[in-house]
Structure 1
Amino acid sequence: MAHAENDLTINRSPEDVFAFLADGLNNAAWRSGIQSIALKTGTPGAVGAIYAQTLSGPGGRPITGDYEITAADPGRRLDFQVVAGPARPAGTYHLSEATGGTTVRFSLDLEPKGLMKVVGPMIARTMRAEVDQLGTLKRVLESA
């Protein structure tokens, strides 16, 4: 299984951080690989909402990476599952109160199958790069 995880503290309330993360349209503000994103179905930030996103793949080629929100506990936890595209990791944002803000732990997990096992190391690097973007999330939220 490929796994990547990162955490940091953001000087905003858990409710503010959750609200920002739950609205997938905000992804473009802090995730560098987003080429486009739109709410496909459902209510923003609610379980069952599906976001259609196009990501920068190898060589900058566009790839699909649609995801569905699978759990939403405001101020505490947001889970999602990628439902379209070549790699389909599951992700979780765990939020907890910290002195002066919120500690965010972002984790991604993927069980490679078939040919995906061959490109496992590349997938692991991509997942690591994704969770490492929490620093950008911190800058965006603290400057708002």
Structure 2
Amino acid sequence: MPETCHTVNTTPERIFAVLADGWSYASWVVGAAHIRDVDEGWPAVGARIHHRIGPWPLQIDDKTVVRAVVPGRFLELDAQAWPLGAATVRIRLEPLSATTTRIRMAETLSSGIGRLLPGPVQAALLRPRNAEALRRLDDIAVHR
């Protein structure tokens, strides 16, 4: 699973607070255009964010579902984007000091036509997008 890392000058708790705010999802996830609804209890296992992806007017309504969570440390998502398929996304927060955290974001295309792409091609497509998502997450967590 291709992984992208980014070091942030804040605590894992501040970063996780952004992840736990489902309404902020489109602010840091590259490609998410609009949040339509967030299930009560997000980010509990099974909770969903209902979103639109893609550029207007070609947007698609879909959802992202929480598969696993360790508050303040880990979030695993099933990010759906029909008709392209879905991706499994794992976000780990590793404290490096009292004020610094490493974010590790791993993503693999897990269903649909995207899963047919070889691993190196998936990595080449996903790493730049995920690096930008982590920069956005950094900005929100630090300056919120």
| TM-score, normalization by structure 1 | 0.79
Of 9, 13, 27 in structure 2, the residue corresponding to residue 15 of structure 1 is 13
5+ residue gaps, structure 1 = none
Structure 2 match to 1:87:
85
1:140 and 2:140 equivalent?
Answer: yes
Structure 2 match to 1:102:
101
Alpha-carbon distance between aligned partners in 2 of 1:24 and 1:102, rounded to the nearest angstrom: 21
Q: Which runs of 4+ in 1 moved over 6 A?
A: 118-122
How many residue pairs are counted as aligned between the two chains?
141
| Alpha carbons 1:19, 1:45 under 8 Å: kept | no
Of 71, 76, 82 in structure 1, the residue corresponding to residue 73 of structure 2 is 76
Change (3 A) 1:11 1:33: same
Of 24, 27, 41 in structure 2, the residue corresponding to residue 26 of structure 1 is 24
Give % identity: 26
- What do you get for the CA RMSD once the two structures are aligned? 2.9
Q: Secondary structure at 2:5's aligned position in 1? A: strand
| Alpha carbons 1:54, 1:62 under 8 Å: kept | yes
1:32-71 counterparts in 2 under 5 A?
A: 32-56=30-54, 61-71=58-68
Q: Secondary structure at 1:67's aligned position in 2? A: strand
5+ residue gaps, structure 2 = none
One-letter identity of the residue aligned with 2:128: A
| TM-score, normalization by structure 2 | 0.79
| Alpha carbons 1:81, 1:89 under 8 Å: kept | yes
